[in-house]
Amino acid sequence: MSYLRVAPLTAACLAAFSMSAFAAPLDAAKVKATVEGQFPAFVQDHKTITEIESPTGDKAGSRKMAEWLKAKFEPLGYTVSFRENDSSTHVIARKKGEGKQRVLILGHTDTVQPVGSLAKQPYSFDPKTGIAKGPGVGDSKASVAQLLHFAQSLEKLGYKNYGEMIFYFDGEEEVGSDLEEQLLEELSKQADLTLSVDTSRPDWGLTTQRKWSANYDLKVHGVTGHAGNAPQSSASATVELANQITRIMKLASPLPKDPAQFSAEGLKKRGLSDHGQYIPEVTINFGVVETGNKKRNSVPADALAKFEVRAYDPALMQKLDSAIKKIAATPSVGGTRIELKGPFSTLPAMAKTPQAARMVESYKNIIKQQYGAKVVEWSGGGVTIGNFTSKHIPTIDGLGVETDYEHDLNKETADLNTFAPRTVGMILLLDDVANNGLAAKK
């Protein structure tokens, strides 16, 4: 019998091999102890940044948040850069590791609450319940503080089994911008997977898919005239718009006859819990309908509708686009002409790809093993910046501190009790992905 002769491994080879896919997994007990030890500092940092009012478009508040992040991340060895426009400062923090996976982690620093909201709803934290309140306390100041302490925990653990860690803190997530889209495009092409911590659903909710969204403007040009004396020589733009709306709405999935049954109270009465499973497959919303006509006895010469279309399946979105254009090309009121613009401001679907599905299953197993809890998968009809990254790399969302009643100044809360378990789950997921190549195509 002959044997294959193998040259001795050098120290450099051994070091590289040890940080490969066969690196020893993290000790879960050590991770828990490290993260749990961060809790008092996390609460203090959460208070500090919640009291920095940074509504979308407030350049001073956005810059203050950026400077705070820079001062916190640079001591951890991250290179921090700013990308600015007229209304916000976007923050990118990067650090090289010794592994392979390049990880993009998403958060955002803007809120929906205007300056002055803090005086109406000061920051508060009840240590007995773990509940914090304040403007943007959950969406998304809790997640920003969490990500800082996620990074600090990795440093304390001496964890380097990643190719590069890239944190992106969006300065205008609530409304979006060209700069935001440009940065998400750039960064997602430089990474292998995305972990997003935007507002997370209660009871270990994890968002694994979100809808595609597309906007349209539909303008009808008619012929005005006196409604009593000249209807025969006029063409009503508003009637044609009504016809268009009726025809286009037939493309949407049916809605319940009694929407109250699907309200939070209605579902509770029926013993049901909502994790996005009741969202219709296709939704169409005519959010703006208007005409320049102000007289009851004049036939309107113009009418405008602004509407959006949402669906999970990109192929279905293409079919809907074709159907909408066909309807717009065939007006039913003689003498009217239709001008359709769109789709524009399109946001791609966040799909549960095979790679994302493997990460989801890993996270579920981790949470079950470490906390004896069941992770509930959510579907989202709304979109986040994770929709953009999912075009290029597997993305999962909702890994952050759990939040309720976001965007409601009086009711919004963040459950800070979820900081430690959620962060532990995120770190162990990151380690499992690195060791087992879960984000790689197979």
Q: How crowded is residue 261: how many other Cβ atoms within 10 Å of its Cβ?
A: 14
Which of 135-149, 152-166, 216-230, 380-394 has the least mean pLDDT? 380-394
Q: What is the mean pLDDT of residues 184-212?
A: 92
The total number of residues shown for the chain amounts to: 442
Residue 166: HSE in the Cβ half-sphere, 13 Å Cα cutoff: 22
Question: Cα 129 from chain centroid?
Answer: 27
pTM to 2 decimal places? 0.84
Mean pLDDT of the chain: 92
User: Residue 321 in 3-state DSSP?
Assistant: helix
- The predicted pLDDT at position 351 comes to 86
With 70 as the cut, is the pLDDT of residue 2 above it?
Answer: no
With 60 as the cut, is the pLDDT of residue 232 above it?
Answer: yes
Which amino acid is located at 421 in the chain?
Answer: P
- The predicted pLDDT at position 439 comes to 74
Query: Could you report the per-residue pLDDT of 47-99, keeping only the tens digit for each?
Result: 999 999 999 999 999 999 999 999 999 999 999 999 999 999 999 999 999 99
Closest C-alpha to 184, from 198, 162, 169? 169
Query: Could you report the per-residue pLDDT of 363-422, keeping only the tens digit for each?
Result: 999 999 999 999 999 988 888 899 999 989 999 999 999 998 889 999 999 999 999 999
Q: What is the mean pLDDT of residues 345-368?
A: 92
* Structure tokens, 310: 């949402």
Which amino acid is located at 179 in the chain?
Answer: L
Residue 142: enclosing H or E segment and its boundaries?
Answer: none
Binning pLDDT at 50, 70 and 90, where does residue 14 land? very low
Binning pLDDT at 50, 70 and 90, where does residue 3 land? very low
- What is the C-alpha separation between 171 and 175, in angstroms, rounded? 10
User: CA dist 365 to 28, 178, 185, Å?
Assistant: 13, 38, 31
- The predicted pLDDT at position 285 comes to 97
